Structure 1
């Protein structure tokens, strides 16, 4: 390490050289990091996979069997080893972003192909780019074979079978997901929330529910003990303006009075003086009016209000000047509106442009496909559920924060797996589908160059690893399991939950075809890059200087310094 200290204008400048490794040594360091991450993730695979306990700073540790969660928390002190782990983590992230499941399988496949590729490079002179092309060609062949093998999902029983595998054999939770999809349809919106108790339950919501109630409790003063205001055959005014004076909404009030219908106003904000006038008007029995503050903030609020206007057949009035030119066509109309202190429920809109609503739903589906974070995905799903007028919320229970976190991860994985299975079909699970792809590789015409053939062989060897790992985690002889499954055909495979062999589709042990294809494609891409790496450049580690006072030392120890 080069350490030069100079001064210019009283400022210290320090230069650190970088660590550079070549060839076998570079790949060996990467492989150590790959193995550490892959071993941690592989332990979770299958119905008898083990749990992983993850430390979390200042709060309780997290327990999980979710491959992407485990991979995201593996960070190695040695920068060179950590680069290998980071590259492998990229395969899991890609698979998770594409299909939301299959991350453990992608990790195992990528590790297997990377190890085999590095072993080939140690044997002699090999053109690394041609080797990479051979690996990618083999992965494409496997994906095509999986597509030909897939069977469509036609029954709720098959849906529950997919969910059961993702839920590690929990039949009751799989039935809960199956019943929910049966009720909503395959395009229905399902949200997952944490329950306040140990039980799991599902709640269905008709119409549109907004997470905001009336602005003043006096508006519901005459509605009984439950403080709930029910407005039948209600007009709806939507605006992004802040309403300060009653004159701004006089046209809307006049329309409501002439039609003898209650009026619900959802706006960006209301002045306190205006709310006093509306409450007084309501209590005196003139025009029944309820004021509700619009959900969200900023751009998100605008999008949600645009969704609401489309779903309710109303026009969104952007600012206060639009209120003065209000016409009857600008107002929405619903059969019923129920408002309490915390939420607003809008039921059965009377005039809706279905074509515009469906176009908006399709746009949100495209945004969902591009979503990166769980928060963004949850927000978009909520918006789509509102537009469709019906959604379900599954409340996941647990006896502790640890159990609740782990079960919520599994629920989300199961929902992703079910969605992909419905759209792209299913194949036999337990790693059997990959084993049935080996003949497809054998049927390929002889490669024109040696490296292409070596790449195919690397992919072929990796196809055995998922089944091997599942059997190993189940505590049986993995070599014997592999031998028996390879001797069989079709859907014949190993049921790790019971330790028996049989038709896996009949037993309900299936995987979404698209999940296996995504895992293979992502693993091949990352593994081929790992295997063909020649130079590794990392920064030299710098040990932070910690002051000697006791408080600072205690804080540094707390954060691992």
Structure 2
């Protein structure tokens, strides 16, 4: 068992640097359109290695380094990259390279006697200048052609870019898009009317259409609840309400139902005249289920019956039920089409959530709201992705998810000249900002080198000499197209990056590296907690 220890400077900085460099050096080859892949050995002998080109996933696969002190630095940036991957879907290699440059250059300055806290403040002030510059350079993404060109610049797969360009042009930045593994190699997509959730029937025996593997109810009433229903007699008041209104079917959403109730629904004596299905809670996470029930109520009317609030089937009233022109369920999903909710109230809820989205700084909250707004707007799309092998299918699906996330951000926040060009252009503004202190001067110098580093890595990965190429770039939106091997206007060439992704990468990398530079002591526990997730 490892012994507890307290590590001081300069050992902390040296160990952090070694750990950070190992992670970043593993991720750097994946940056750019002519990037390399990273092969990761499987846990079991005889299995083919995992081939990855995603910086966030590569970092996550590195669970621990042999040296405990080095491991602290490695886990620091591992956590950063995985969180960035979860929140933006892209930009991890760019963030890793910026972080590494800021940290390594910052250590050189501190070794010469610099003040870590003052340097951190100056780096964060410089970041504000960079973000303002990126905002000024941001270009709107409006047409299907713009979306497809950005998708191709991100994925380097024309067929995928065409599909995603059409899909997001139709459903918009908040639209619901489900990317699934397909059966035939390539990309296929279709649109789904209405809204659906991860849910499904309590028993596959409730699905009578075995050809479509789905149960569909027309002109249906919907009980929205998180109740645990045990006694079949508890359904009597609900059934009377539904029959009285002459609806064709009833959907029961519940937290749990007994085997007796399942049997009652499966053995319904009047299929086709009055159909009943019972579906599981909406969403795979308990934390999401309450908001999903509320959103469904906005779509179909009625109100959620909450067990913790004292609601039960004995107290249900007709106005508590929602209604939909069509409701369907299969073993994995539940959806509604033509909900009969109050349209003005629904519109107000959508506008309220969109305001929260645009003002929130919590990336997890923004992702959750984006999903909720997409469902409330209605209209969804499914993209099926497949390759020849399972590994290829996984890589294609992951790339499609990352590309779609970047496109959503671009539709909301615009795009920037790609290939590292936007970050290069920020150098001029920083170089013109003359600080009054040694730390301000050092911070500007460090940030200028960090802004140059992603473009250098893209060129090196493509087999070019960065020094020779970058000396020829004069700014004004110019950059080097590594695929065609010439200097072009990046906007006119359609080589663009999502502004949201680039800003998130710069913000995350610089603030985290600045904080790491102020870490002076490392405390090692006897038996530290283990986790495979950052």
Taking structure 1 as the reference length, what is the TM-score of the superposition? 0.81
- Checking the alignment, whether the CA contact within 8 Å between 1:163 and 1:418 is kept in structure 2 is yes
* Secondary structure in 2 matching 1:484: coil
Matched residue, 2:489: 503
Cα distance in structure 1, aligned partners of 2:78 and 2:214:
50
- Checking the alignment, whether the CA contact within 8 Å between 2:174 and 2:373 is kept in structure 1 is no
Matched residue, 1:484: 472
* Secondary structure in 1 matching 2:428: helix
* Secondary structure in 1 matching 2:178: strand
- Checking the alignment, whether the CA contact within 8 Å between 2:188 and 2:384 is kept in structure 1 is yes
Matched residue, 1:314: 302
Matched residue, 1:293: 279
Larger Rg: 1 or 2?
1
User: What CA RMSD, in Å, does the superposition of the two structures yield over aligned residues?
Assistant: 3.6
Number of aligned pairs? 517
- Checking the alignment, whether the CA contact within 8 Å between 2:206 and 2:277 is kept in structure 1 is no
| Structural mapping, 1:320-469, within 5 Å | 322-338=312-328, 345-356=335-346, 358-359=348-349, 363=353, 370=362, 385-444=374-433, 446-469=434-457
* Secondary structure in 1 matching 2:402: helix
Deviates further, 37-46 or 308-317 = 308-317
2:247 paired with 1:261: yes
Q: Which runs of 5+ in 2 are unaligned?
A: 529-534
Q: Judging changes above 3 Å, is the alpha-carbon distance between structure 1 residues 390 and 177 closer, same or farther for their aligned structure 2 residues?
A: same
Taking structure 2 as the reference length, what is the TM-score of the superposition? 0.84
Cα deviation, 1:7-55, whole Å, max 9, x if unaligned, reads xxxxxxx9946263533x5433332222222211111110111101123
Matched residue, 1:200: 187
- Checking the alignment, whether the CA contact within 8 Å between 2:177 and 2:383 is kept in structure 1 is yes
Cα distance in structure 2, aligned partners of 1:321 and 1:32:
58
Cα distance in structure 2, aligned partners of 1:51 and 1:365:
40
Cα distance in structure 2, aligned partners of 1:398 and 1:64:
15
- Checking the alignment, whether the CA contact within 8 Å between 1:207 and 1:347 is kept in structure 2 is yes
* Secondary structure in 1 matching 2:464: coil
Cα distance in structure 2, aligned partners of 1:495 and 1:159:
19
Deviates further, 52-61 or 72-81 = 52-61
Q: Judging changes above 3 Å, is the alpha-carbon distance between structure 1 residues 479 and 230 closer, same or farther for their aligned structure 2 residues?
A: closer
Deviation of 1:76 (Å): 1.9
Deviates further, 201-210 or 494-503 = 201-210
Cα distance in structure 2, aligned partners of 1:216 and 1:524:
51
2:179 paired with 1:174: no
Deviation of 1:422 (Å): 1.6
Matched residue, 1:18: 5
2:498 to 512, 516, 519: 512
2:234 to 248, 254, 271: 248
1:103 to 85, 92, 114: 92
Deviation of 1:494 (Å): 0.3
Cα distance in structure 2, aligned partners of 1:236 and 1:536:
56
2:145 paired with 1:157: yes
* Secondary structure in 2 matching 1:63: strand
1:141 to 126, 129, 139: 129
Cα distance in structure 1, aligned partners of 2:213 and 2:27:
51
2:34 paired with 1:48: yes
Deviates further, 307-316 or 461-470 = 307-316
Q: Judging changes above 3 Å, is the alpha-carbon distance between structure 1 residues 55 and 260 closer, same or farther for their aligned structure 2 residues?
A: same
- Checking the alignment, whether the CA contact within 8 Å between 1:63 and 1:405 is kept in structure 2 is no
Cα distance in structure 2, aligned partners of 1:225 and 1:439:
63
* Secondary structure in 1 matching 2:177: strand
Cα distance in structure 2, aligned partners of 1:128 and 1:227:
62
Deviation of 1:537 (Å): 5.4
Matched residue, 1:8: none
- Checking the alignment, whether the CA contact within 8 Å between 2:101 and 2:450 is kept in structure 1 is yes
Q: Judging changes above 3 Å, is the alpha-carbon distance between structure 1 residues 288 and 78 closer, same or farther for their aligned structure 2 residues?
A: same
2:483 paired with 1:493: no
Deviates further, 174-183 or 153-162 = 153-162
Deviation of 1:96 (Å): 3.5
Matched residue, 1:184: 171
Deviation of 1:315 (Å): 2.8
- Checking the alignment, whether the CA contact within 8 Å between 2:253 and 2:281 is kept in structure 1 is no
Deviation of 1:526 (Å): 2.8
* Secondary structure in 2 matching 1:439: helix
Cα distance in structure 2, aligned partners of 1:254 and 1:234:
14
1:129 to 103, 113, 117: 117
* Secondary structure in 1 matching 2:185: coil
* Secondary structure in 2 matching 1:56: coil
Deviation of 1:177 (Å): 0.8
2:59 paired with 1:71: yes
Q: Judging changes above 3 Å, is the alpha-carbon distance between structure 1 residues 480 and 205 closer, same or farther for their aligned structure 2 residues?
A: same
Cα distance in structure 1, aligned partners of 2:262 and 2:426:
69
Deviation of 1:356 (Å): 4.6
Deviates further, 183-192 or 521-530 = 521-530
Cα distance in structure 1, aligned partners of 2:523 and 2:263:
68
Deviates further, 383-392 or 37-46 = 383-392
